[in-house]
Amino acid sequence: MENKTLNQSRRRFLTTAATVVGGFGAAAATVPFVSNMSPSAKTKAIGAPVEVDISKLEPGGRLIEKWQGKPIWILRRTNEMLQDISSLNDKLSDPQSDNSAQPDYAKNEFRALKEEFLVVIGICTHLGCSPSFVLKEDGESISSDWMGGFFCPCHGSRFDLAGRVFKGVPAPNNLVIPPYKFISDTRLLIGEDTEEVDG
C-alpha cells in the first residue's frame, strides 16, 4: 500500500519535473538570440550575476530564479524548518557537507550565509533531474517521518531543507550551493562571491 502511494506520488512529481526541465530547455534555446533581448534577459543568458529582490518572500515561501541556465531556488525557512534541519544529521549521507559543493561560507549546518535563507541550485546530484519542493504537511507519501525538503522523482532521491541528501538514495552528494551575497537586507546577488559574512 505504501509502495503504491509512493509510486503515485513519484509519477505526479515526474510529470511536474518533466514540465520544468522542458521549460529550461526552451529557455536555453533562446540564447543565440541574445542580441534581441532586454538588458536583464541578456544578463541572465550570458551567466552574469543575477540580482534578486527577496523583499516579498514570506517565511516558508520559495523563489525560483535562473543563473547560468540553472534553476536557483531561494527558500525562506521558518524557525520550525530550521529546527527540523538540526534534528536530521544521523539520517543524512553528508551532514557536514564535507563531500559536497558549496562556498566556504555555506559549509555549515544550514548551508547558508544567513540561516533563514537557503540559496541552492535545483538540480539533482544523481543524474540532473529537477527535484520538487515538498512541504512537511504534504510529505506523508514520501516518508512517514518526512520534515519537508526536496524529492527527486527520477530515482527517488531525497534532500532536506538545506539541500542535504538522505542516506540510502542514489544521489551521492548534497545539492550544490552557488556563490552569492547579500547586497542589502532585501536583495541578493547570485553568482558573485563575498568574503564578508553578513548577519
Out of 97, 132, 157, 174, the residue judged to bind ligand FES by CB under 6 A: 157
Residue 42: enclosing H or E segment and its boundaries?
helix 39-46
Nearest distance from C-beta of residue 73 to ligand FES, angstroms: 15
* Residue that is written with C-alpha cell 502511494 in the block: 5
In terms of DSSP H, where are the helices of 30-71? 39-46
* 170 lies in the site for ligand FES, by CB under 6 A: yes
* 152 lies in the site for ligand FES, by CB under 6 A: yes
* 158 lies in the site for ligand FES, by CB under 6 A: no
C-alpha 123/C-alpha 176 separation (Å) is 8
* 60 lies in the site for ligand FES, by CB under 6 A: no
C-alpha dihedral (167, 134, 147, 2), degrees to nearest 10: -70
* 126 lies in the site for ligand FES, by CB under 6 A: yes
Active site residue 126: no
* 188 lies in the site for ligand FES, by CB under 6 A: no
Spatial contact of 17 and 132, defined as CB atoms under 8 Å apart: yes
C-alpha 47/C-alpha 68 separation (Å) is 4
* 111 lies in the site for ligand FES, by CB under 6 A: no
Q: How far is CA 143 from CA 49, 147, 155, 160, 173, in A?
A: 37, 9, 15, 12, 20
* 123 lies in the site for ligand FES, by CB under 6 A: no
Side-chain-facing half-sphere of 199: CA atoms under 13 Å: 12
* 171 lies in the site for ligand FES, by CB under 6 A: yes
11, 12, 155, 187: the catalytic one is 155
Amino acid 14 reads L
Out of 85, 124, 134, 162, the residue judged to bind ligand FES by CB under 6 A: 124
Backbone angle region of 76, left / alpha / beta, with phi > 0 → left and psi within -120 to 50 → alpha:
beta
* 127 lies in the site for ligand FES, by CB under 6 A: yes
Closer of 155 and 187 to ligand FES (Cβ)? 155
Out of 11, 155, 167, 187, the residue judged to bind ligand FES by CB under 6 A: 155
Interface with ligand FES (CB under 6 A): 124, 126-129, 152, 154-155, 157, 170-171
Q: Indicate which residues carry an active-site annotation.
A: 155
